[in-house]
Amino acid sequence: MDAEARPTLPPYEPRDPNLPAALDGIRIVDFSHFIAGPMCTMILADLGAEVIKIENAARGDDFRGFRPFLAGESTPYLWTNRNKMGIALDLSQAAAREIAVDLIRTADVLVENFSKGVMERFGLGFAAMRTINPRLIYCSVSAYGRDGAMSERLGFDPVVQAETGFMSLNGFDDQEGVRTGPAVMDISTGMMAAVAVLGAIVARQRSGKGQQVEVALYDTATLMLGFHAMNYLATGKNPTRFGNRSIDSVPTGVFNAADGALYIACANDRTYRRLVVDVFGRMDLAEHPDFVTNPSRVAHREELTEIIHKILASDSCENWAVKMQKAGVPAGVARTVEGAFNSAEMADRKIASSIPHPTAGEIPNIASPLILRGTPVVDPVAAPTLGQHTAHVLSRVLGYPGDRIDALAASGVIRK
């Protein structure tokens, strides 16, 4: 990545060091890779859990191979592995599996997203691990669940978008459905897995027992259909694509101003009146029988859209957005990613910052969206390099002596 092309980011502002974190004292052994599992464990790490990420000693998480690279480190990998310690084991060797078992004995939570049967082949399945640690919460993230006819199928975010009908709702009605650019099903599945783990932690406080937790990409994708799924089940009417518009409220959608576009959302008659009277100064549009109610506006969508476009052409999208926001009309400029990260909104929320990295120097950081005033998320620490904390974990967590660690490294059981 061209360093000169990178945006300049402010340093991260540290949290109050006197405040505790929500998950202080919780240890998570993380066998997950790519996005969904690591997203789950990163959320838990941000909340203060100690996450020990176990990677393949030869190549690490396959996500490390995804471009672009920053000083040799994959930026997609950096994105989803913040606040974790990383160790590298060759689980094909019995000595490495012994290390994994030793860690699991000390753990509160195990998270994995291997294909069905992989953890069992390593001797690390739920049935075996619950015997050595009855308090263990064992979270499995998969594409189609661990049971049923589809349990052995490999899954991929856009494939699940297609299968569940999610893709059929995205795009314009005169074109084929499109997948989302970001991996929303992986991300949302990771979020759901974190919620499930937190629920199991609370349940363990009452029962003293751990449990198995499962979250599937397919199930989450069905949830992500939103109320459109419920509407279909209630009416039998198949929902279709409607682009940037709303099928229920007008004016809602993308509208062109003099220099660009903005998104306006008028979900009811009150908001519409604010738009046309308080922002546009057009009382005639508020009282016109074709536009006075939402059903009438839906029926005359094209006529009203043309009028609004003509009005908006007189000023910039940024100026219109400010006027609408002041009037209580939900509106925002339609920006690129670059435009968003250079916007006043992004700066106000302090989302992007710069944090240290052991080999890359400084790397970008995107703040956790979780805000807990009494137990704030922990200060961000960059994702580990491959095997960065192997010696530390084996020594400090498991109490292995230095000569044993050296011997394990020499035999290829670990990478440090």
Residue positions annotated with a catalytic role = 186
Calculate the CA dihedral of residues 115, 118, 120, 123 and round it to 10 degrees: -150
**Which residues lie below 8 Å from residue 410, measured CB to CB, with a gap of 6+?**
none
Positions of E strands within 257-347 = 261-265, 331-333
Contact by Cβ (8 Å): 169, 239: yes
Cα 330 from chain centroid (whole Å): 25
3-class secondary-structure state, position 260: coil
First CA to last CA distance, the chain: 27
CB count in 10 Å sphere of residue 295: 10
- Do 399 and 393 form a contact (C-beta atoms < 8 A)? no
Q: Do the beta carbons of residue 67 and residue 368 sit within 8 Å?
A: no
Find out whether 21 and 28 touch, Cβ atoms under 8 Å: no
CA distance 236 to 257: 39
The CA distance from 100 to 51, in Å, is 14
Residues 64, 203: Cα–Cα separation, whole Å: 35
**Distance in angstroms (rounded) separating the CA atoms of residues 345 and 374:** 25
Q: Distance of alpha carbon 126 from its chain centroid, rounded?
A: 26
Q: Are strands 361-366 and 414-415 parallel, antiparallel or unpaired?
A: unpaired
Q: Which of 119, 123, 144 is nearest to 132 (CA)?
A: 123
Residues 157-183 as b or e (16 or more Cβ within 10 Å = b):
bbbbbebbbbbbbebeeeeebebeeeb
CB 28 within 8 A of CB 50: yes
